[in-house]
Amino acid sequence: MNSLIHKSAKLSFLSVSALALFMNACEGTAVVGEENDSVDGGDGDGDGDGDGDGDVTSNNDFGDLAGTRWEGADVTLILGSDGTGVLLYGEDQQLDPPTDPDAGYFCVGEDAFLGGPCSPYQLNEGWPYPLIDAEVQGRRVEFKVPVHDPWADWCALQTPQVQQEDPDGTKRYGVSPNFDSGRDEEGCFIHESQESNEKVYVGCDWVLLTKSANVCMCDATECVADSGTEGFELTANPDFTQLSNATGLHLFLVE
């Protein structure tokens, strides 16, 4: 199953280096998958229909494949007749929406820092990722999924913080202030200010999502899921009963 979650050489490097990124408080957004195009925030309501607070615009055209369902080794692809679609690895966890902005969500715990089995740097089992920008041309099926869709509702709970103010007065925002962070024997912390070494202890999962993985992006008024996407290109066999790609994903028409 793990081989189907697109752990390319780049993705494996990002996952293994997640802990190092956290400890050094790097602020760059991880690039995941084959593409990283700009889209609106993710659905996040757990049903993959693109109608959640994240305002995903599906812009899907499934053509004659609309209304079909495809399954493979613990992978399900739904191309809905209403223009919405879902890509799901494993079983849907059907998580309750997040309610605590100070706690982590979906990928939590020590394993998330090290890149598995659930990591904010990749697509994960248990979440129905909505399809966007899908297009069917001949035997080729292309679509994208928003990698950070699981955190759309969680990002909406966060309060934007000023991370940088440019000389012209322009302010840049994020979930956490742009202060150094780290981890010691007592837990994870953020420094009280840029000039201070005083530590404010916070949840390690929260630090992972906000400072290492950067699953959210913010303006002055709100935070939404980061816009990174992973692109897929599948090819149908001549009788359109199977979809596959070069990375070993094989799906079979079931309805």
Q: Which token pair is 133?
A: 């920008």
| Maximum average pLDDT range among 44-53, 98-107, 156-165 | 98-107
Angle (CA) 208-212-216 rounded to 5° is 85
pLDDT > 70? residue 98: yes
Q: Tell me the three state secondary structure of residue 22.
A: helix
pLDDT tens profile 147-174: 999 999 999 999 998 888 888 888 989 8
Percentage of the chain with pLDDT > 70? 74
pLDDT tens profile 59-97: 999 999 999 999 999 999 999 999 999 999 999 999 999
| Nearest in space to 215 (alpha carbons), one of 157, 171, 132 | 157
Q: Which token pair is 154?
A: 């969680």
Tell me whether residue 138 is exposed, middle or buried, using C-beta atoms within 10 angstroms of its C-beta: 0 to 12, 13 to 18, 19 or more: exposed
Q: Where are the domains of the chain?
A: 2-253
